[in-house]
């Protein structure tokens, strides 16, 4: 059965599980959404949204944009600039120079930017949505803080968990301006089912057909409720079902065809500058040992790392894995390690910057 014929059988006009970002299909995180809405309505300054890769940060920002764009001036920045002069150029796009300003070459300098923004907004409020903020630097974040202080701008800044750690450690004044902190972890089992249902109905289908209730639970267990992983697994399952001409996707089918074996060899997708440290050599011995193990592999589970470390050094296997998890959490916050959901657990790899250290060494 060809894939498009399989889709037609269920009334689908498109693939429900394509990775297209669709804010109208944003599911879950009700408490976090309400906190951000209150932040905006109260005209607060800076809201920080953090969460791991695939948790739904971009979709959330676009959902906010769609909700407020008919009520106020809203601008979404998919990636922040890495140089302060680029920030000036960005704001000149958001709030363009008038014809006469261009004619008279009245282009503001970076230091004149706050006054320029205030004048251009003329009492109106700007909602600024900044995505992938972990990829920018201290200088740009400082200027964003200045703009938040001196202009009628409400900012929602989103990034990986390392962003909050970096701000807390290196940008105290910025950290003090954050009045709302939101963390996106993962969807619940009920929300995962709701996401699949919404996607299928968006494509023209009915309810969660062809997935059985048992299949939905197994999908949740395999993906830990990470939205992107849910979509990727469902996409894989419907293509495999079409290939095998299976019209009902059961729990057993999910177990049989949800392996992530090939994906475990993928190179890390997320890049960001690690928290500066004098040298990896100055890390505590166990942290350094974990990095050395990961430098020789691509993706590993905490159990696999613990086995490489030597479980005999701990009281029990449980103690060993708990210790490794704590080490990995710390290394993630410092920008040396990243993780992705694979099956029922997380797997870990070095960030490109950390891997480069071992290559150079």
Per-residue pLDDT 10s for the chain (361 aa) are: 578 888 999 999 999 999 988 899 999 999 999 999 999 999 999 999 988 888 899 999 999 999 999 999 999 999 999 998 899 999 999 999 999 888 888 899 999 999 999 999 999 999 999 999 999 999 999 999 999 999 999 999 999 888 887 888 789 999 999 999 998 878 989 999 999 999 999 999 999 999 999 999 999 988 888 899 999 999 999 999 999 999 999 999 999 987 643 333 333 333 334 444 446 777 888 888 999 999 888 788 888 888 888 765 666 777 788 889 888 988 887 778 888 766 566 788 887 677 777 765 5
Alpha-carbon distance of 262 to 185, in angstroms, equals: 25
Question: Would you state the pLDDT for residue 312?
Answer: 55
Q: Which of the four CATH numbers 1.20.1740.10, 3.40.47.10, 3.40.1030.10, 1.10.10.10 does domain 268-360 have?
A: 1.10.10.10
Under a CB-based contact definition with an 8 Å cutoff, are residues 219 and 196 in contact? Answer: yes
- The CATH T-level fold of domain 3-22+187-259 is Helicase, Ruva Protein; domain 3 (1.10.8)
Name the residue ranges covered by the structural domains of the chain: 3-22+187-259, 29-183, 268-360
3-state secondary structure at position 129: strand
pLDDT at position 66 is 96
pLDDT of residue 274: 43
Whole-angstrom distance, CA of residue 265 vs CA of residue 340: 12
What pLDDT score does 1 carry? 55
Q: What is the rounded (10 degree) CA torsion for 288, 290, 293, 299?
A: -140
- pLDDT for residue 262: 36
State which H helix or E strand residue 349 sits in: strand 345-350
Query: What is the pLDDT at residue 35?
Result: 94
Residue 227 CA to residue 195 CA, distance in Å, equals: 8
Contact 337, 298 (CB under 8 A): no
In angstroms, the CA 189 to CA 353 distance is: 35
Predicted pLDDT at 200: 97
* Model pLDDT, residue 178: 94
> Has domain 29-183 been given CATH number 3.40.50.620?
no
What's residue 280's pLDDT? 76
CA gyration radius, the chain: 23
One DSSP character per residue, 166-201 reads HHHHH-HHHHHHEEEEEE-----HHHHHHHHHHHHH
Tell whether the torsion through CA atoms of 261, 267, 269 and 271 is positive or negative: positive
């Amino acid at each position: 059965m060809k894939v498009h014929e399989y889709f037609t059988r269920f009334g689908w006009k498109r693939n429900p599980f394509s990775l297209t970002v669709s804010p109208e299909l944003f599911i879950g995180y009700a408490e976090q959404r309400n906190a951000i809405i209150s932040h905006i309505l109260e005209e607060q300054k800076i809201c920080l949204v953090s969460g791991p890769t695939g948790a739904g940060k971009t979709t959330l920002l676009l959902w906010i944009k769609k909700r407020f764009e008919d009520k106020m001036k809203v601008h979404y920045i998919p990636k922040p600039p890495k140089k302060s002069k680029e920030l000036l150029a960005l704001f000149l796009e958001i709030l363009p120079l008038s014809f006469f300003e261009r004619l008279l070459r009245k282009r503001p300098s970076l230091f004149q930017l706050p006054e320029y923004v205030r004048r251009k907004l003329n009492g109106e409020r700007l909602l600024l949505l900044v995505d992938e903020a972990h990829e920018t630097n201290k200088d740009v974040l400082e200027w964003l803080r200045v703009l938040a202080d001196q202009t009628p701008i409400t900012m929602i800044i989103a990034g990986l968990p390392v962003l909050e750690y970096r701000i807390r450690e290196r940008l105290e004044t910025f950290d003090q301006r954050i009045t709302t902190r939101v963390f996106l972890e993962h969807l619940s089992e009920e929300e995962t089912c709701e996401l699949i249902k919404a996607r299928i109905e968006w494509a023209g289908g009915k309810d969660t057909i062809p997935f059985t209730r048992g299949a939905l639970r197994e999908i949740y267990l395999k993906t830990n409720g990470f939205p992107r992983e849910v979509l990727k697994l469902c996409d894989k399952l419907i293509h495999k079902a079409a290939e095998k001409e299976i019209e009902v996707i059961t729990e057993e089918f999910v177990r049989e065809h949800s392996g992530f074996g090939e994906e475990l060899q993928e190179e890390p997708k997320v890049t960001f500058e690690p928290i500066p440290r004098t040298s990896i050599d100055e890390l505590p011995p166990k942290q350094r040992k974990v990095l050395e193990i990961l430098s020789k592999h691509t993706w590993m589970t905490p159990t696999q790392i613990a086995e490489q470390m030597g479980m005999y050094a701990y009281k029990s296997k449980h103690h060993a894995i708990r210790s490794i998890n704590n080490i990995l959490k710390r290394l993630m916050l410092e920008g040396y390690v990243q993780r992705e959901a694979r099956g029922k657990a997380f797997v870990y790899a070095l960030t490109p910057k950390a891997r480069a250290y071992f290559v150079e060494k």
